[in-house]
Structure 1
Amino acid sequence: GQSTDYRPKKKTEKLCQSAVEIDSCLIMRITRIQTVLLCLLVILASCSHANNSTVSKSEKKLKILAIFAHLGKSHFDVFKPLLVELARRGHDLTVISHFPRTQEKAMSEEPLSTYKDISLLDEKLGIFVNVVDLNSINTFGRIPVVTRDLYMLFLMSGITCEICMKNAEVKRLVDSGEKFDLLLVESFNSNCYMALVHKFNAPFIQISTHQLMPWAIDNLGLSNEASYIPAMFTRLPRPMNFFQRMINAITILFSTMVFRTVFHWQDQSIANKYYGPGLPDLNSISNNASFMFVNTHYSLHGAISFPPNVIEVGGIHISPKVKPLPANIKKFLDEAHEGVLYFNLGSMVKTATMPKDKLDVLIKVFASIPRKVIWKWEVNEIPKLSSNVLVQKWLPQYDIL
């Protein structure tokens, strides 16, 4: 007969079969990712700045500068758990952003003496929350999606770069000559902040909150595999047919060319205005990142060949600790015997600007299903809804899910 292997399976080989086991495995994976990420930060900075101190490298507290100048809250929410955890572990953290902890409840709940803010917040400009008007999307007409997206990214890039570069506290920090062991910088729509990387002359790690931009892949010396990896901006499926591959290749070439010319000219001009002349080429500085952390996961984005210094950290922003839900939401969920549909278009999209014809369709569909529906709706004027729909201006998404 057939031979049978009676050796007991290791615990690590156990499959996650039930829904509860899958949730547990996901939380374990997220925790492991967080631990590995923090260890990498410590190892990198310690190795780069070894000295003759009697304190062992593993015990050394690092001075870290985090530069996250984008106005989008959804972006910063990806970095925040990492930054808070670094401060909890005693590392001296200076964070340049539009989201200072002093304006959050978390500051009073958990004051962190090693977490220091340099706020870029402009009261007149505000932050990118509920700023996308769904009606305005139609004004672009037949303009290709990639052109529209690049145009919006270009405008945002100029705004955020100017705000950061001219900030008096940022300039004071640069002029102070303060040294840092490590810099954390977002990889998104601008290389403007490479000027600060150059000024502080420290190893740096870039973090992307989403799939890598075509130009970021190029910076890493990788090949944009247009034949099987759909690029950002394309919305193409996997696998792609020949025509879709051709569109993908053209999109990659076009977007990278625009970033290398138009975006780069803007970044370099603004950086030179405040910290030049004589700054090196910002794109060249960006090529020297020690690591790139990417908020993706192969289970969702497909298998991609990355070198060892590009690490997928998808889910790092999800805390394993669940906060108690507000009473009205908890009651609503407890009574959802048929299940719940959570509907949210994100922090930037203002759902209340949805065209009436599409809104009417959604309301009709929600009323026709047996499940309860939780819906992010930003204004006081609420359309007539069925009893199975709960709307709120802001929702604790992680805790609900």
Structure 2
Amino acid sequence: MADLKSVLFGVLLMFCSCEAYKILAIFPVPSTSHGILGDNMIKHLLNAGHEVTYITPFIKTKKYNHPNLKIVDVSANEEYFDESLTDIKMIMSGALDYKDPVLMAQLTIMLATTTLGNPNVHSFLKDPNQQFDVIIGEYMFSDMYSVFQAVFQCPFIWFSTIQPHWGILKMVHAPLNPSYNSDYIIGNVAPFTFKERVQELWYQLKGLFYHKYINPEQEDKVYQEHVVPILRAQGKPVPNYEELKYNASLVLGNSQVVFGNAVPLPPNYQHIGGFHIDEDVKPLPEDLKKLMDNAKNGVIYFSLGSNIRSKDLPDSMKEGLLEIFGKLKQTVIWKFEENLDKTPKNVHIVQWAPQQSLLGKLKCNDNYINGLYIYRYTAKIKEISVAYHHSPMKPGEALNFWVEHVVRTRGAPHLRSVALQVPLYQQAYLDLLAVILAAVAVILLVVKRILSLFTSESPKLKRN
């Protein structure tokens, strides 16, 4: 009984010491995988007692019901993500090249422009009663969501959906070294070959050029059109767009060092990967449970994710995959959007599957990057699991801790990287290189001049 009283007292003390903050969460990407991350982030924030306003495109397909939750509907963004942007035939033919950082930037700038121009967002920004302690914005290769902090005048946190990469690190620190850190859309795994290092350097230089000289003009135009008039109408300062986009307090990364490379990161980048994983794994539907229980040789789950559809694969590829799957001894579950005729006995088509519930019994999954990192180290999976779970706090707890830390420290200025104050040419010592090259050039000119004097005087000496 004494122990129970102690536990109850501790719980009450915890709730009493926790301040409730008003948080704005911006997750406008109309992709199911992004929606899962956004939904679980607000779940943790709400569970901690905070009030959350959630900008989301999934109001028509999901039910959001919580007394501390307000929704800003940007479901019109789903029209932006039409089938042409995820047509696998166009991707395979090269008509859509998602490895082109310029294309990715343009697509995400257009999405951000659509979001800021949404009437619901516009009304929300104009409402003088809206006040927040902190803003969390999803970083999707566009800096434009940073403008929300100008309206609400509070700290801003970026949320990155993938492993650390130069695109997000440049916002709070400096780009990562391309000699050992992969670009976010190439998928190379360090250590790189010479060719891969050249490729990584080229992609980063190209991306930095567009980020510095091309994209800001378009983004600033949107800022001037949609946000600046609101700031002036409300009598608030109008910060420079360049100042806003580098003013984030923190990056919360959907990453964990055990699943990627241990690259040096600034203190204002914090891993929270795994926060979206439900600890209470739901039981499988009866048909899938029976299928997996009877799979003597294990199960392979094949899925192209939430954006790319298997039904759009060329017929020849569908037939080829079925032929390969049919030769395997494992049971294959293929997430497919329509029924397939004449499938091998070991291949089972499902239009939807509870992926997390399936993972425990799988022998293999289809994610390319995860495969490169993990398949080569199958014997170390348990070791990786231990490293992942051996942490001072769970990912969801880390999420709330760092959000609250930013609010309590008024933007966490103590975590701000000094690298933001140092231009890239100075970080790379290009100015020193210029001085050295200039000195070498001067020395060579002097030596050449001296030699020319000697050679010009030689004939006179011979005549004398």
Q: Tell me how many residue pairs correspond in the alignment.
A: 337
- Name the amino acid aligned to 1:68: F
Give me the whole-angstrom Cα distance separating, in 2, the residues matched to 1:137 and 1:144.
6
How far has the Cα of 1:373 moved from its partner?
0.9
CA displacement 1:130-177 (0-9 Å, x = unmatched)? 962221113326x97642x5314412431x223321223322222222
Does the aligned pair in 2 maintain the 1:293–1:311 contact within 8 Å? yes
Contact residue 165 and residue 175 of structure 2 kept, 8 A? no
> Residue type matched to 2:276 in 1?
H
Q: Deviations over 1:245-267 (max 9, x none)?
A: 12211111101212333332222
| Partner of residue 88 from structure 2, selected from 128, 134, 139 | 134
Counterparts of 1:22-101 in structure 2, within 5 Å, are 58-100=17-59
TM-score of the superposed pair, with normalisation by structure 1: 0.77
Deviations, residues 53-88 of structure 1 (Å, cap 9, x unaligned):
xx97x3321111111122222122123212112113
Match of 1:182 among 130, 134, 151: 134
Structure 2: 5+ residue stretches without partners:
1-14, 233-237, 360-464
Instruction: Tell whether 2:266 aligns with 1:292.
Output: no
**Structure 2 SS opposite 1:95:** strand
Q: 1:325 to 1:190 in 2, by over 3 A?
A: same
Worse-superposed segment, 295-304 or 336-345: 295-304
- Mapping for residues 198-277 of structure 1, pairs under 5 Å: 198-276=150-228
Correspondence for 2:287: 328
1:313 matched to 2:285: no
Counterpart Cα distance in 2 of 1:164 and 1:154: 14
1:259-278 C-alpha deviation (Å, 9 max, x unpaired): 33333222222222112268
Could you say if the C-alpha distance between residues 329 and 98 of structure 1 is closer, same or farther in structure 2, counting changes exceeding 3 Å? Answer: same
Residues 216-270 of structure 1: CA deviation (Å, up to 9, x unaligned): 2212222421111122222223111223212211111101212333332222222
Distance change in 2, residues 1:243/1:131 (3 Å) = closer
Cα contact 1:63–1:92 (8 A) shared by 2:
yes
User: What is the CA–CA distance in structure 2 between the aligned matches of 1:212 and 1:282, rounded to whole Å?
Assistant: 24
Question: What is the deviation of 1:186?
Answer: 0.8
- Report the equivalent of 1:117: 71
CA RMSD of aligned residues (A): 2.5
Aligned with 1:64: secondary structure? strand
Between the aligned partners of 2:190 and 2:344, the Cα distance in structure 1 is 38
Normalising by structure 2, report the TM-score: 0.67
Alignment-mate amino acid for residue 62 of structure 2: E
Residue in 2 that maps onto 1:14: none
Q: Does 1:396 align with 2:396?
A: no
Relative distance call for 1:65 and 1:124 in structure 2 (3 A) is closer
**2: CA distance, partners of 1:176 / 1:126:** 26
Q: Cα offset for 1:209?
A: 0.6
CA distance in 1, matches of 2:338, 2:84: 10
Question: 384, 387, 391: which one pairs with 2:345?
Answer: 387
- Which is greater in Rg? 2
Change (3 A) 1:358 1:321: same
Instruction: Report the CA distance shift for 1:239/1:327 in structure 2 as closer, same or farther (over 3 A).
Output: same
Change (3 A) 1:115 1:234: same
Write the deviation string for residues 76-102 of structure 1: whole angstroms up to 9, x where unpaired.
2123212112113321110011123x7
> 1:146·1:255 contact (CA, 8 Å) conserved in 2?
no
1:13 corresponds to: none
The answer to whether 1:163 aligns with 2:99 is no
Against the structure 1 CA distance between its residues 187 and 153, is the aligned structure 2 distance closer, same or farther, given a 3 Å change threshold? same
Distance in 2, matches of 1:245 and 1:231, equals 11
Indicate the percent of aligned positions where both proteins have the same amino acid.
Answer: 26
Q: 1:337 Cα deviation (Å)?
A: 1.6
The one-letter code of the counterpart of 1:188 is M
**5+ unaligned residues in a row in structure 1: which ranges?**
1-54
SS of the aligned residue for 2:144 comes to coil
Q: Of Structure 1 and Structure 2, which has the larger fraction of its residues in helix?
A: 2
